A and B are shown apart, each in its own frame.
Chain A
Amino acid sequence: MNALELQNVDMVFNPGGENAVAALRGIDLSVEPGEFISLIGPSGCGKSTMLRLVGDLLAPTAGSVTVNGKSAPQARLDRDYGMVFQNATLLEWRRILANVELPLEIMDVSKSERIQTARDMLELVQLDQFEDHYPWQLSGGMQQRVAIARALAFRPSLLLMDEPFGALDEMTRERMQMELLRIWQETETTVVFVTHSIPEAVFLSTRVVVMSPRPGQITKIVDIDLPQPRVFETREDQRFFALLTRVRESLRAVEEE
């Protein structure tokens, strides 16, 4: 069974209206469990929209989205999705531990189990020293790690990430990428990752989905056959550069159309 299956998905905002916008057209994509998929493309290519269709935050105009053999709305009700946004979206009135507890609280997990799980998750992202801090006391990178811990707290099968490292500086960003890969391998979660950065997409993914704008379409899917686990030296590998070039050329072909 596929972790994710999009079949002939169209998305039109304000359909029939004067300002109707075709955001996505004819999207077909199958993702196997445990894959790490990046969506990359110029602004306005609908990659964030696609992520929201997968997460049932938007409903497609046509076509079907299937997650673990279920419809997207059912998957959302079954709590199959962990979401991470560009801004950490931590609730500022909650301390770090309580922020990670939030999804478990909503899912009626008992207090003691909640605290135990939240602590485990903070350990996973190496922030267990900070459970009593408020979000504003943490750096941007640390806040984003808390957001990842929170997204994983209820063990969702699918992690949806919308440019999660977009607001971070380059060095923090590379550290976060290593960390995310470690967590991905420890938890065996399927990841759909939206990004603007070609090196980020290549370094992280098992496959990179290249998209074109207006209306958003998938123009190419690049298999990233770099050995696992990815390490610091992976970025200096000849194969890494070759794949960067492949993705870059696919994107340029998109621009020139």
Chain B
Amino acid sequence: MTERIRRWVPAAAVFVAALVLWEGVVRVFDIQGFLLPAPSAIVAALATETDVLTTAAIGTFATALVGLGVGSLMAALAAFAASRWPLVREGAMPVAIAANSTPIVVLAPVANSWFGLRSMAGGVFVVAVLVFFPVMINLVRGLMSANASELELMQSYAAPRRTTLWKLQLPNALPYLFSALKVAAALSLIGAIVKEYFGGSQERLGQYITSKAALFQYEEAWAAIVVASAFGILLYLLILLIERRAMPWHVSVRRT
């Protein structure tokens, strides 16, 4: 346990030092709040705005989470199809890789006209599209990563194709899937918040940030940014936890 605590000490020290430096710079150079509020001012705003921010964050987080779920599920189905049929793979993979290289988040303002300003569906749609491509591409790579002798082994048992998928290819793909999900987790919050910048319910982080910024209440805007970061880290840790549970055998997880 003490060993684990000690491993966190450097990171905690850097974090605290950065905060102190930030606070010091703002005070010494008398930087204006609209440029960069001091950490103490942001903490004060967090305290007064706790209720509003909690509601907004939960709404945004829910959109991101549902979008992440829907997008990943669709990606998994597409990946299974692509790994199963070479024709699908050859047709879909270049398109998927091309789509993954475009800034899909630009769909955000369009989503409003498709799903209406106030529905959650628009946000879910943007997030789902955003996470779909990285998850699909990585999962296909993972499913195809079984080596020749592993496949020959299954063949020698006359294993049906779905058994090979289930018992060989899918476990083999788990490390790829989790790396993709960690990227997708960050993307999902970006997608949800950017979509909210373009309108929608006031009780969402994106709208909260834009409206507070418009009113020159930068302490509040920054408070919302801090909350968004916290939720991003939370989501990442959640996926890390599932990863450790799902593949205790993997090099990245196992302890000698």
Residues of B within 8 A of A (CB): 147, 149-150, 152-159, 163, 167-168, 171, 174, 247, 249-251, 254
Residues of B within 8 Å of A103, CB to CB, are: 157
The proximity string for A residues 146-181 relative to B, scoring 1 for CB distances below 8 Å and 0 otherwise, is 000000000000001000000000000000000000
Cβ-defined contact, B153 with A85, below 8 A: yes
Closest CB pairs A-B (n = 3) = A83-B156, A85-B149, A93-B249
Task: Please give me the residue from chain B that is nearest to A160 by CB atom.
Answer: B156
Those of A43-97 within 8 Å (CB) of chain B: 52, 55, 57, 76-77, 79, 81-83, 85-87, 89, 91-94
Q: Please measure, in the bound complex, the distance between the C-alpha atom of A86 and the C-alpha atom of B251, giving whole angstroms.
A: 22
Residues of B within 8 Å of A93, CB to CB, are: 171, 174, 247, 249-250
Residues of A within 8 Å of B159, CB to CB, are: 106
Q: Please measure, in the bound complex, the distance between the C-alpha atom of A103 and the C-alpha atom of B150, giving whole angstroms.
A: 12
Cβ-defined contact, B171 with A79, below 8 A: no
Q: Please measure, in the bound complex, the distance between the C-alpha atom of A86 and the C-alpha atom of B153, giving whole angstroms.
A: 12
**Contact of A20 with B by CB under 8 A:** no
Mostly, the B contact residues are helix
Cβ-defined contact, B249 with A57, below 8 A: no
Residues of A within 8 A of B (CB): 52, 55, 57, 76-77, 79, 81-83, 85-87, 89, 91-94, 102-103, 105-107, 134, 136, 160
Cβ-defined contact, A91 with B150, below 8 A: yes
Task: Please give me the residue from chain A that is nearest to B249 by CB atom.
Answer: A93
Q: Please measure, in the bound complex, the distance between the C-alpha atom of A92 and the C-alpha atom of B172, giving whole angstroms.
A: 9
Cβ-defined contact, B152 with A85, below 8 A: yes
Residues of B within 8 Å of A89, CB to CB, are: 147, 149-150, 153
Question: B152: which of A57, A79, A82, A92 is its contact (CB, 8 Å)?
Answer: A57
Question: B157: which of A85, A106, A136 is its contact (CB, 8 Å)?
Answer: A106
Residues of B within 8 Å of A134, CB to CB, are: 249, 254
Task: Please give me the residue from chain B that is nearest to A88 by CB atom.
Answer: B149
- B143 CB to nearest A CB, Å: 15
Cβ-defined contact, B157 with A55, below 8 A: no
Cβ-defined contact, B163 with A106, below 8 A: yes
Cβ-defined contact, A55 with B156, below 8 A: yes
Q: Please measure, in the bound complex, the distance between the C-alpha atom of A93 and the C-alpha atom of B170, giving whole angstroms.
A: 11
Cβ-defined contact, B171 with A57, below 8 A: no
Q: Please measure, in the bound complex, the distance between the C-alpha atom of A122 and the C-alpha atom of B244, giving whole angstroms.
A: 29
Q: Please measure, in the bound complex, the distance between the C-alpha atom of A56 and the C-alpha atom of B174, giving whole angstroms.
A: 30
Residues of A within 8 Å of B150, CB to CB, are: 89, 91
